[in-house]
Amino acid sequence: MSLVLEHATLLDGTGRDPQPESRVVVDDGRISRISRSNGPSAPKGARVIDCQGRTLMPGLLDAHVHLASLDLDPVAEVALAPAVIALRIARQIEETLQAGFTTVRDAGGLDWGFKDAVNRGLIRGPRLFISGPFLSQTGGHGDNQRPRTAREPFHAIPGLTTETILADGADEVRRAAREALRRGADQIKVMASGGAASPTDELDHVQYSVDELSAAVGVARGVGTYVLAHAYGPGAIQACLRAGVRSIEHGNFLDEETADQMLSQSDTYLVPTVITYELLSHLEAGNGWTADNVRKIRQALTGAYDALGLAYEKGLRIGSGSDVLADMQGEKGKEIACQARIMGAMNAIVAATRTNAQLLRMEQEVGTLEEGKRADLIVLDADPLANPDIFGQANHVRLVVLGGEVVKDLDGGTPATALPQQGRATVPSGG
């Protein structure tokens, strides 16, 4: 049966002006026709949804999530019962789709099993691109061992909680990258600089060497994928660029020289994650979140908007990531409002739709509303160009369609608890 969305204000994700009184027809999971609503009447027998006064746009993409993050303190996280961990992660996946994100890239931590559960229709989630375990040097951003002690190492719960493979030297990195791929990673995540949540390092520390990063890139390219790297400062970002890392995450201390280097490479993206610093900077120390974490987060926030402004001014390819952790999982959409402050709402929306789709190499399939593309779309009850804050409030996302299937309908009473139909199991999520 066809699905027809009528009388919508169409924001197609390409950056062009909204088109009033639009009609989008969906057949067999794809957009078959886009026209004006005053044209010939909708196909017979179709389900028609009136979108009068509403904005219809592509489903959102978030290029930097951590859907397995339940607690800022990794020790508290692994102390939870395994069943509780699994069910809470499942809920985070479902709520991400309900918030309007139809495709997300997990930037480390989410196990392949959750992607399999989505593909099997056990839970309803967005298309998932997972990175599996982080690759980190000893004492690096992914090393959760207690600092300055020689006690037993930190143990994640395999298949459930966020795991790091500690790898030093090109050979170990190569092996770790192959291991991540073996476990189902769609792309490889490396820690190239210090980070705010890690116990041993500083933000401006350069971690992996060019040699080590090149080893990961070589493994990734061998199977047709790429590396994304956590990197804050010029030294770390430049090492990534020399090694061929495609996706630079955070980049809070990007400088002009480094931005020019990024610009000179043909297929490099910056994925700012401003909202996570905004949210975490309000936290005081406690519950496993240390005074050091507080200091480093506030330091990272000072660079976040300047780096984004520089990247925008230079014309870098800017994606959109939230990097929200633990109980902030519901705030993913607020990244768009953060970016809008610097780039304007339209460019921030394009970053979270078309550009993120290019970053994920899914631009032929999703990211814009065009005839022939997969029908991943959302309907909003307010104008996101006038008020991009609405992306942070799931109740403004009235309708979510994933691959032609209505998975949320706040006005039509679609049973939110119904399992997706069997056919969903054959829809590849994650390319």
Q: Which residues form the interface with Zn ion (CB under 5 A)?
A: 107, 323
- Minimum CB distance to Zn ion smaller for 323 or for 376: 323
- Minimum CB distance to Zn ion smaller for 107 or for 237: 107
Is the distance from CB of 241 to CB of 259 less than 8 angstroms? no
The two structure tokens encoding residue 320? 């959109």
CB of 6 to Zn ion, least distance (A): 40
CB of 250 to Zn ion, least distance (A): 7
- Minimum CB distance to Zn ion smaller for 143 or for 323: 323
- Minimum CB distance to Zn ion smaller for 78 or for 107: 107
Residue 84: count of CB within 10 angstroms of its CB: 10
Helix (H, G, I), strand (E, B) or coil at 345: helix
- Closest by CA to 24, choosing from 279, 296, 374, is 374
- Computed on alpha carbons and rounded to an integer, the radius of gyration of the chain in Å comes to 21
CB of 192 to Zn ion, least distance (A): 12
- Minimum CB distance to Zn ion smaller for 89 or for 107: 107
112-119 and 82-98 helices, crossing angle to 10°: 60
- Minimum CB distance to Zn ion smaller for 250 or for 396: 250
CB of 162 to Zn ion, least distance (A): 10
CB of 17 to Zn ion, least distance (A): 34
* Residue tagged 């990531």 (tokens): 321
**Residue 379 exposed, middle or buried by CB count within 10 Å (0-12, 13-18, 19+):** buried
CB of 179 to Zn ion, least distance (A): 20
CB of 74 to Zn ion, least distance (A): 13
Is the distance from CB of 213 to CB of 240 less than 8 angstroms? yes
- Minimum CB distance to Zn ion smaller for 9 or for 247: 247
CB of 323 to Zn ion, least distance (A): 4
CA pseudo-torsion sign 41, 381, 335, 312: positive
CB of 252 to Zn ion, least distance (A): 12
- The closest residue (CB) to Zn ion is 323
* Residue tagged 């020289």 (tokens): 257
**Rounded distance between C-alpha atoms, residue 393 and residue 59, angstroms:** 15
Is the distance from CB of 80 to CB of 38 less than 8 angstroms? no
The two structure tokens encoding residue 178? 């192959």
The two structure tokens encoding residue 152? 């037993």
300 Cβ neighbours under 8 A, 6+ residues apart? 196, 203, 232, 250, 252, 277
Is the distance from CB of 308 to CB of 343 less than 8 angstroms? yes
- Minimum CB distance to Zn ion smaller for 68 or for 107: 107
CB of 251 to Zn ion, least distance (A): 12
**Rounded distance between C-alpha atoms, residue 265 and residue 334, angstroms:** 29
327 Cβ neighbours under 8 A, 6+ residues apart? none
Is the distance from CB of 402 to CB of 59 less than 8 angstroms? yes
Q: Please state the length of the chain.
A: 431
- Minimum CB distance to Zn ion smaller for 119 or for 322: 322
- Minimum CB distance to Zn ion smaller for 107 or for 311: 107
